[in-house]
Amino acid sequence: MVRAPCLLLLLLWSLMHVSATVPEPCEVDDDNFRCVCNFTNPQPNWSSALSCINAVEVEIRGGGRSLHQFIKIADTDLKLYANLVRTLPLQRLTVGAARVPALLLFAVLRGLGYSRLNELMLEDLEVTGTPPPPPLEATGPALSTLSIRNVSWATGGSWLAELQQWILPDIKVLNIAQADSLAFSCAELRTFPALVTLNLSDNPGLGEHGLTVALCPHKFPALRELEVRNAGMKTPNGVCEALAAAGVQPHHLDLSHNSLRATAPGAPGCVWPSTLNSLILSFAGLEQVPKGLPSKLSVLDLSFNRLNREPRVDELPTVGSLTLDGNPFLDPRPPTHQEDPNDSGMVSACASSMLAVGMSGALALLQGAGAFA
């Protein structure tokens, strides 16, 4: 037990170029729970990362630099360190702001297969070079959540199929934002047997067509929640068609923060998945309730749209819980404690007092012009 950490220490020391000048890049909180490393300095002391060894949550940012110098890790037999890695309390890991060779990334994932890592977040990375040959047996961490934001891959649309080979198939939640390619090669992709939540929010270029391509048929059999906020969706009907084409059966669909329009008149109708019972259409710029919504829903959220009148019963699905806050027809609006991050109550209060100033200004002008004389 004593020897393994020493070996790792030696390995790390032999790989790292230690510099004498800079402050400690890693900080651990008092409970030894969370450790954050920022290697932005020009000559960072990489071995400072060792201070994270007892932390449960670790965040490492590479200051945008290349991690190619650590490529030797990919040639190391990580089995030698399995016992050490098993003792790590690490559960949540964020790696950000770096250029990482695919060889290194996947070697590290394989090594983390011995760990208790549950949640992995990759952010602002450029993954370079060709990936290693696929592993012969299931390997990698048993993640429940994988989040990927602004990561580019040298291998284009194959990236998810490649990454998938280096994590176990237990994953339940997959978040992919600011992706440079969601045009997955479906033939290469394996099934995600346990994936409950797929979140493709914050991909403004996706659109309905991109969604149809991303939702590879039969690869998401357990999907219950699909989030496509701010993802360039144009009409609920188009999204319905994408779901039908992919054969996914979500219970919850979040289309908020897209600029949605009502479906064009004469557009063919679409049959929504019979499982769908919760539909979020908030912050979608809607001026009327779109036609062709599912006929029955438990939850329909139409808050913070531009509805100028209260929707008639015949325009709405049969719905258990309907949210309409933040629509103009409810003005003057009561203070809302809804999810609007911008305090719209404040904004509208400002706007109306500016309007008042404007009105009295206009009155003063009119008076000045002798209109009331």
Identity at 98, one-letter amino acid code: A
Residue showing tokens 């090594």: 111
x-or-dash string of contact with ligand NAG, 144-163, rule CB under 6 A: -----xx-x-----------
- Number of amino acids touching ligand NAG (CB under 6 A): 26
Minimal distance, residue 245 CB to ligand NAG, in Å: 23
x-or-dash string of contact with ligand NAG, 8-47, rule CB under 6 A: ----------x-x---x-------------x-xx---x-x
Subset of residues 172 to 211 that bind ligand NAG, contact rule: CB under 6 A:
175, 177, 199, 201-202
Minimal distance, residue 84 CB to ligand NAG, in Å: 17
What burial class does residue 338 get, using C-beta atoms within 10 Å of its C-beta: 0-12 exposed, 13-18 middle, 19+ buried? middle
Minimal distance, residue 175 CB to ligand NAG, in Å: 5
Minimal distance, residue 369 CB to ligand NAG, in Å: 36
Strands (E), 8-79: 26-28, 34-38, 57-66
Residue 240 has a CB neighbour count (10 Å cut-off) of 22
Q: Is residue 338 a contact point for ligand NAG (CB under 6 A)?
A: no
Minimal distance, residue 112 CB to ligand NAG, in Å: 22
Chain-centroid distance, C-alpha 254 = 13
Answer for which of 268, 341, 368, 370 binds ligand NAG (CB under 6 A) is: 341
Choose between 139 and 181: whose C-beta lies nearer to ligand NAG.
181
Measured between alpha carbons, how far is 102 from 68 in angstroms, rounded to an integer?
Answer: 10
Contacts of 114 (CB under 8 A, 6+ apart): 78, 81, 82, 85, 86
Subset of residues 280 to 319 that bind ligand NAG, contact rule: CB under 6 A:
none
Minimal distance, residue 314 CB to ligand NAG, in Å: 31
Yes or no: say if 149 and 120 are a contact pair by the CB < 8 Å rule: no
Yes or no: say if 263 and 242 are a contact pair by the CB < 8 Å rule: no
Yes or no: say if 178 and 207 are a contact pair by the CB < 8 Å rule: no
Answer for which of 4, 50, 82, 142 binds ligand NAG (CB under 6 A) is: 50
x-or-dash string of contact with ligand NAG, 104-143, rule CB under 6 A: --------------------xxx-----------------
Subset of residues 211 to 230 that bind ligand NAG, contact rule: CB under 6 A:
227
Measured between alpha carbons, how far is 130 from 156 in angstroms, rounded to an integer?
Answer: 11
Peptide bond into 89 cis (omega under 30): no
Choose between 23 and 268: whose C-beta lies nearer to ligand NAG.
23
Contacts of 354 (CB under 8 A, 6+ apart): none
Which residues in this chain contact ligand NAG in the complex, by CB under 6 A? 18, 20, 24, 38, 40-41, 45, 47-48, 50-51, 61, 124-126, 149-150, 152, 175, 177, 199, 201-202, 227, 341-342
